[in-house]
Chains A and B, each alone.
Chain A
Amino acid sequence: MSDYILRVENVKKSFGGVKALKGVNLEIKKGEIHCLAGENGCGKSTLIKVISGFYTADEGTIELNGKKYARITPAEAIRQGVQVIYQDFSIFPSLTVMENLALNMELMNKRKIVSYKRFRRIAEEAVSKIGFKVDLDELVENLTVADKQLIAICRALLSNAKLIIMDEPTTALTKKEVKALFSVIKGLQAQGIAILFVSHKLDEVFEISERFTILRNGENVATGNTGELDRAKFAFYMTGREFNEEPFEPKNIAGEPVLEVRSLSLKNGYRDVSFKLYRGEILGITGLLGSGRTELALSLFGIYPAESGEIRINGKPVRIKSVKDAMKNGIGYVPSDRLTEGLFLPQSISRNIVVSKLDRLSTKKMGFLKNKEIAAEVEKWIQDLSIATNDAARPVQTLSGGNQQKVVLSRWLATELSVLILNGPTVGVDIGSKYDIHAILRSLAAKGLAILIISDDLPEVLFNCNRVLIMRNGSIVNEINPRETTEKQLAEMATDVS
């Protein structure tokens, strides 16, 4: 009987001439928590799909429970105890919790006729595995993201899972929910289940995993015990580059605030929020999901206009009731979900960059596009932000995540911008581009832009802001100086622990 639940040996996979996996190895012991890390495009997703049987490897073997396979079907992988939880959880929003939990099991047992009694029994068994309290008859679409994830986990546990693969499970979770997830994972480990945890967040790798494997460009770069890893090594393995981390020092902070918020309130969002933002500084706002930070940002941008209170731009009170108002006042917003809220994937890079500036780049009366100016504008931003492409007419979906984020960023720069608000600017962005974006923001601040970063990535906030506001339950509860605050202190201030 092998010690290992999974052994992947020399797996190669190509798609029409593109080598996604060039001979990858992976070993996971039974009951081990193992982290698989790598930048976008390194081959993580492909590897998972090969392990779970959705793709067939061109070469190499997969050994599960001691059994060697050259090719494996999804059904066989499930039978060997492999369960994959994808980022979208693969749930059915319009069906009940009970059905979501029971359907997979029923399908596996090749059931044809439905018995709701049996569904309920299966569902109850599923939630008991991790003690998850939920209304079985509730429609899944009405649950929180964290609950949906727990449903996915419960469901995975039903089929005698021995290895659970979680693909970037913490992307949409708050710090508190991440903690809850981690304790669930530890509980699974206690039951002898191995977890393969795909992530690029170093803190998570440190906190939860025992061993790690890092891929780059379809090849193994490093494997080892997490205890031997540190920040610098991690970044180096992931990108092949070395990074120097210095905290942000603002160059020139203006005397008068460019944005001032007084007693702003929005029902079910936030209450009585006041703060000032100066040119040249990067202000961070952090807090759990539900603290009101996103709602505040969306109010400043005109999507959910505030109900009471005052907003002042350069000392003058303004009304922001729509996105147009916000833009007129020089406020730009880089949304948290790039793929659904930020990008027009099949459209060209050009169009994605200029879409918010069309008024300026076309004639006033008839709206005729000024093509030469558009070309110049696009070229400028590709240069300034080092967007890796040599043809701006290509669809933006051909760019990597980090470059895509730069495109969204460039969309706002050069509109007459006074304030740039970014919500989760480096979520789902590989480490290399993450540092690039931080560098860009710092240089923008140095040039006189006022930047507001909303993020729950505490290290990001601590290293890149000169001031941080903490929100909790809809109000600002504290303002700290990042030089004088540790991550731990910051986390405590953000949670409900008091």
Chain B
Amino acid sequence: MLKAKKLFKRTEFYILLTIIVLGILIQARSGQFFTGNNLVDLTRSMVVPAMFAIGAQMVIISGGIDVSFTAIASLAMYATTRILLDINYQGSVLLAYAMGAFFGLLMGVLNAILIARFKFPTLIVTLGTSSIFIGIMQGVLGAHELPIADPMTAYGKAKLFSAYNDQLKLSSDMPVTVLLLIALLIIAFFIMRYTMLGRGIYAVGGDEVSAQRAGFNVFAIHVFVYCFVGVVAGITGITRACMMLNCHPTNLIGMELTVIAAVVLGGTRVTGGSGTLTGAMLGVALMTVMSNSLILLGIPTYWQKVFTGAIILIGTGVSAYQVIRSKRRLVTTQKGA
């Protein structure tokens, strides 16, 4: 019984509830929410932001905030695509992913050095590196829209199954990339929950000094986090190109805000030290449902940002206000000095 009570206190529960309620509302309005094809479409839309969220959340748990991952993804995606096109690559798509991950890693290392070694404020550093990466891409490489190599197209088109919608005579394909997302989730989950490295990330985010004293290698933990984000961002960039069937250098820029908002909505504290992958995924799901389903509700797409902004404010506001109210009221005088 106690376990059930604890469940009700968790943010994740409320997000799930909100998604379900929204789903019911949208279904009532348009009759198109709980259809196979819509659910597949939603999942498809979730893949890229969810991948980003895995990395973004790790950074926030470690006590930082990273806004450069979309820039990393874009540059990694562009560089890889350009090279593969130039050599008219026909081999396995794995190489594309390896290259993307590699480029992402390089960029992640830059963040890692600046943050782990110099301990600069993470928001400002990643604002700077984000600019550098975009500048390299657009300035040095003169990026413009590109088609993608055949193996990538093939991979992007590959599907697990199709969902056919009788009413609309539409069919949606569940992309193979969902498996990649699941794989990343499993890896991240294992690291965060079952390795000392992962517990160390929580520890560092909770109290860096204590982590140092306990014997955690704080420097290595920070380096790992930002390199991991880089690699994941690189992989996500390639995934994006495959799924979009083309390489647009700047389309991803701007998504970082929605991803961070989704992660925070899902219960991860901005101050660090706590948060679950489940929550992050639910947060992404909620944001995706919101943006995708506006159309189903008959709301024109340019209302998107208004909703995104409102959700960020309401979502974070509710949990923040609860914290403030508990601080204002004397709960028990025994707690704390």
Contacts and interface: CB of A to CB of B under 8 A. Distances in A.
Direct contact between the two chains A and B in their complex (CB within 8 A): yes
B194 A113 contact: yes
Interface residues of A, number: 41
Contacts of B195: 112-114
A145 B336 contact: yes
Contact of B215 (A89, A107, A295): A107
Interface of B: 193-199, 202-203, 205-207, 209-211, 213-216, 269, 272-274, 329-337
A103 B207 contact: no
B196 A94 contact: no
Interface in A64-86: 74-75, 78, 84, 86
Given A88-B210, A112-B197, A93 B333 contact: no
A86 B209 CA distance: 11
A398 interface: no
A377 B297 CA distance: 65
B274 A107 contact: no
B337 A95 contact: no
Given A92-B203, A94-B272, 10 more contacts: A74-B215, A90-B210, A93-B273, A94-B206, A103-B196, A107-B216, A145-B336, A268-B333, A269-B333, A292-B333
A336 B273 CA distance: 28
17 contacts: A74-B215, A75-B215, A84-B213, A88-B209, A92-B211, A93-B273, A94-B202, A95-B199, A95-B202, A95-B273, A103-B196, A103-B214, A104-B214, A107-B215, A114-B198, A268-B330, A268-B333
Interface in A293-351: 294-295, 304, 336-337
A111 interface: yes
A93 B211 CA distance: 11
Contact of B199 (A93, A114, A172, A292): A114
Given A113-B194, A114-B193, A304-B330, A94 B274 contact: yes
Interface string A150-190: 00000000000000000000001000000000000000000
Among A93, A103, A142, A289, the one with the most B-chain Cβ atoms within 10 Å of its Cβ is A103
A97 B122 CA distance: 29
A106 interface: yes
A290 interface: yes
A91 interface: yes
Given A144-B334, A172-B337, A290-B334, A91 B198 contact: no
Given A90-B209, A114-B196, A268 B273 contact: no
A107 B337 contact: no
Contacts of A103: 196, 199, 203, 214, 216
A90 B213 contact: yes
Contacts, number: 94
B317 to A, nearest CB: 21
A266 B336 contact: no
A313 B25 CA distance: 58
Nearest to A304: B330
Given A92-B207, A106-B196, A86 B333 contact: no
Contacts of A111: 196
Contacts of A84: 213
Interface string A119-155: 0000000000000000000000011110000000000
Nearest to A89: B210
A331 to B, nearest CB: 20
A367 B72 CA distance: 48
A267 interface: yes
A75 B202 CA distance: 22
A114 B273 CA distance: 17
A475 to B, nearest CB: 13
A92 B273 CA distance: 8
A92 B269 CA distance: 15
Contacts of B336: 144-145
B333 A290 contact: yes
Given A114-B198, A268-B330, A93 B207 contact: yes
A90 B214 contact: yes
Contacts of B269: 94
A289 B337 contact: yes
Nearest to B198: A114
A108 interface: yes
Nearest to A75: B215
A106 B213 CA distance: 14
Contacts of B329: 268
A111 B272 CA distance: 24
A20 B136 CA distance: 50
Contacts of A281: none
Closest CB pairs A-B (n = 3): A94-B273, A90-B210, A172-B337
Contacts of A430: none
Nearest to A85: B213
Among B203, B216, B333, the one with the most A-chain Cβ atoms within 10 Å of its Cβ is B333
A168 to B, nearest CB: 13
B333 A289 contact: yes
